[in-house]
Amino acid sequence: MSVMIQEECVSCALCVDICAEACIVEEEDQFVIDVERCTDCGDCLPACPVTCIVTH
């Protein structure tokens, strides 16, 4: 499983607060997930109010 943040991200940073691995970082106007550090725990998925964090 791989987790990614889609374009619909509103940069609320709620996912950043919940990520135990600190793998969600802000780049320009959107947050992205550093796949090198992500453990695919899925904790960020329900934290997103616009459901733009998805698995693929």
Count the domains in the chain: 1
Position 51 scores a pLDDT of 95
pLDDT over threshold 90, residue 37: yes
Position 56 scores a pLDDT of 83
Average pLDDT over residues 33-52: 94
Position 28 scores a pLDDT of 85
Residue numbers of the domain that contains 41: 3-55
Quote the CA–CA distance of 23 and 26 in Å, as a whole number.
10
Position 29 scores a pLDDT of 83
CATH code (residue 23) = 3.30.70.20
pTM equals 0.84
Average pLDDT over residues 32-38: 94
Supply the mean pLDDT for the chain.
Answer: 93
DSSP structure string for 21-39? T--EEEETTEEEE-TTT--
